[in-house]
Amino acid sequence: MEKDQIVSILQKLSEAAFVPETWVKLMDDLVATTQGDTARLQIYWPNPKGIYATPGELVETKSDLNSLAKDRKILIDYIDEHKISGFERYHDYYRDFPKLDEMNDYRVTRGVGFQCLSIFELFNGEKILLELKKKLGRVDFSDSDIQCLNFVHKNIERSLLLASRLYFEQAKGSVDTLGRINIPGALLDDRGRILHSNAQFDELDNLFLSLPGERIAIIGGSKGTILDSNSLGAEQPSDVTLVLPQGDDHSGFVLHVMTLHGLARDIFESSYRILVATPVSQTRNLPSVDILSRLFSLTPAEARLALSVASGLSLRDSAAKSQISVGTARSYLLRVFSKTRTNSQSQLVSLIKSVPFT
């Protein structure tokens, strides 16, 4: 490794902790230094996701990653038992892996000839794989290549730890900001565990029960537990909205579980979700058609009908107001229920009255 290459890589490592886009440039440098074909930085657990350098034929698709999900537990157990403190060649690290033959077949079908890798554990328990690949027909990574990578291994580890910690602090800051405007909120990880909550959320002990593993159960009046936070993790395909009706000891609430987007365009993106508890106001003005449409992806006609129902009109009167048939109004209402994740007109009204916009 030439001196100018070392300087370039170390500079990018310092920057990558604060500027996520730098990781791709950094991996490009590592690929060039080792004469590889591509590099991948991927979270192995609990849910696979990652970014690539110099993407090409060796890049796995999301369906490829999902096809290996059934073997993920075996892989994670192996990684837990085989700690790694530097970069190693693929065949050296995985020589005792129980499904090595299947993994080798998978690599060959994707055109992968040789790999070298290292695995880093973040402060929150996530494990990140950094690997470099060469196509079939190329020569393996040399001892010199491995030495070059291990020369900067500690710097890579520090940068990954700092980047993940900064992202976590940004996510916590979103919850604290909600508290400053008096909105209860909590930060959830990929498994639905509560990592951080604001004071307003902590006061809602009549709505939530603590469960083992830093999880919570959400209580719905006389019906008991509606769901626990384990079902609100990253396996959920989209954001979740849940209406909690008024009980003897609490007012009505609408719970929103939202994935954090836009804090970082990198491997750490979407690791966290925010649980927001919005109280239902009996006096708050109803939101506009435009706001309701954008919040729940409603058509203007669906939004107008929902607002008519929320204002106290019957479905028949709402249909007459919109100059549509009762059958059409009923079809609109069913689509509104689906898009807002509500099951009744009373839940829909509570949801709309929880929207803090006029």
Looking at the DSSP bridge assignments, the partners of residue 39 are: 53, 132
C-beta neighbour count of 243 within 10 angstroms: 23
Tell me, what's the pLDDT at 303? Answer: 92
Tell me, what's the pLDDT at 225? Answer: 43
Tell me, what's the pLDDT at 263? Answer: 39
Which architecture characterizes domain 169-280 according to CATH?
A: 2-Layer Sandwich (3.30)
What pairing do the DSSP bridges indicate for beta strands 185-188 and 194-197?
A: antiparallel
- How many Å separate Cα 270 from the centre of its chain? 3
Q: Which CATH number fits domain 283-358: 2.60.40.10, 1.10.3210.10, 1.10.10.10, 1.10.10.200?
A: 1.10.10.10
Tell me, what's the pLDDT at 63? Answer: 47
Is the model's pLDDT at 238 over the cut of 60?
no
Which range has the worst mean pLDDT, 56-65, 140-149, 299-308, 317-326?
56-65
Provide the residue ranges of all domains of the chain, joining segments of one domain with +. 3-151, 169-280, 283-358
pLDDT in tens, 270-288: 467 888 887 766 555 788 8
User: Would you state the structure tokens that stand for residue 260, as one six-digit string?
Assistant: 């954090």
Tracing tokens 């000839």 back to the chain, one arrives at 113
Tell me, what's the pLDDT at 297? Answer: 85
Tell me, what's the pLDDT at 284? Answer: 57
Q: Tell whether pTM > 0.75.
A: no
Average pLDDT over residues 230-250: 59
Tell me, what's the pLDDT at 255? Answer: 77
pLDDT in tens, 192-213: 778 888 998 888 877 776 666 6
Which range has the worst mean pLDDT, 137-146, 170-179, 279-288, 347-356?
279-288
Average pLDDT over residues 296-317: 91
Average pLDDT over residues 29-33: 89
User: Would you state the structure tokens that stand for residue 105, as one six-digit string?
Assistant: 């077949």
The answer to whether 33 and 151 are in contact (CB under 8 A) is no
Strands (E), 212-314: 215-219, 225-228, 240-244, 253-259, 273-279
Domain 3-151 CATH class label: alpha beta
The answer to whether 226 and 219 are in contact (CB under 8 A) is yes
Query: Rounded to an integer, what distance in angstroms lies between the CA atom of residue 219 and that of residue 233?
Result: 18
Any idea what the Cα angle at residue 92 is, between residues 118 and 70, rounded to 5°?
Answer: 70
Query: Given this chain, do its domains 3-151 and 283-358 carry the same CATH topology?
Result: no
C-beta neighbour count of 142 within 10 angstroms: 13
